[in-house]
Amino acid sequence: FMMHRYDEAWGEIESSQLEDFYTGLARVLLLFREDRDLNRLQTSMLELCPIYKNMGCGWGAHIANRDYQQALSSLSQPEGEVEQAFFTAEDRRRIYTYWLMKDEERIAQELPQWRARLEKGRDDAGNFHRPQSYVSLALLTGIQGKAEEAERLVKYWFRHQPIDWAERAGTHHEACRILGIIGATQAAVKCIRAGTVETSYVMPFFEPYLPFYDPLRGEPEFIQMLADIDRPERQI
């Protein structure tokens, strides 16, 4: 699935005896690839999520539907869960959602503690232990209106050596989203194009239609990219 061999992925799902959250999620997304029905996508995720109870389950489908309150609800902490000491993917999802909701008050309120937890991930030399933290810092920088610095941090993450390919595959789509948020058309287009070739969660039938890219939607370069990458071969 992450290698964008979607027809093969569908065949594997259909022939597999295994049924878990990830096969269920892949099935829902591959069906969306066929029908492009956002309401059905959201409904399917609302049916899937109570079975597996993954934190943040359905968030992407809610975001795609511009149902930001439902997206935020999917991120609610379970009762009794200990607050994470470090910056997490859950934090980034919450920030994306606040940004899409234009909730500047909550962003301003939470920003100091987000930064404080992110800073805990630095070593004595001031470098982050995990390269992914540069993406988190780019997000925090971008929502503060510092577009050039945010773009620089994203590009630094892509160049960071040695490359942790597992992290790269799991985070590439977030780098693209940040570039969309800050209105960096050329860099975002390059990021999405690369993500549809590299192993990643950048799905050409889903990613560029998310609201993170609304600031770019009228740009000729973005329009051309959509025409180039989203040419689904309906096989299911």
CA distances, 184 to each of 45, 136, 159, 189, 219 (Å): 31, 17, 18, 9, 11
Please tell me the distance from the alpha carbon of residue 209 to that of residue 121, in angstroms, as a whole number.
32
Give residue-wise pLDDT tens across range 164-211: 999 999 999 999 999 999 999 999 999 999 999 999 999 999 999 999
Rounded mean pLDDT, 35-54: 94
- Work out the end-to-end distance of the chain between its first and last CA atoms, rounded to an integer number of angstroms: 14
pLDDT score at 233: 52
- Contact of 131 with 157, CB cutoff 8 Å: yes
Place of tokens 């993170």: 212
**Average pLDDT of 60-66?**
98
Is residue 236 scored above 70 in pLDDT?
no
Query: What band does 235 get if pLDDT is binned at 50, 70 and 90?
Result: very low
Q: How confident is the model at residue 157 (pLDDT cuts 50, 70, 90)?
A: very high
Mean pLDDT of 39-43: 97
Residue 224, Cβ density class (10 Å: 0-12 exposed, 13-18 middle, ≥19 buried): exposed
In the chain, how long is the greatest CA-to-CA distance? 53
Of 84-88, 151-155, 204-208, the one with minimum mean pLDDT is: 84-88
Distance (Å, whole) CA 9 – CA 119: 39
Mean pLDDT of 111-138: 92
Amino acid 124: pLDDT: 87
Question: What's the rounded Cα separation, in Å, for the pair 180 and 154?
Answer: 12
How large is the average pLDDT for residues 127-137? 93
Instruction: Give the tokens for residue 88.
Output: 């997490």
Q: What is the pLDDT of residue 80?
A: 39
Per residue in 14-37, pLDDT (tens digit) is 998 888 999 999 999 999 999 999
Letter for the amino acid at 170? G
2: left (phi over 0), alpha (psi -120 to 50) or beta: alpha
Q: Averaged over 62-66, what is the pLDDT?
A: 98
**Mapping DSSP to helix (H, G, I), strand (E, B) and coil, where does residue 122 land?**
strand
Place of tokens 């941090």: 153
Q: In this model, does residue 82 exceed pLDDT 50?
A: no
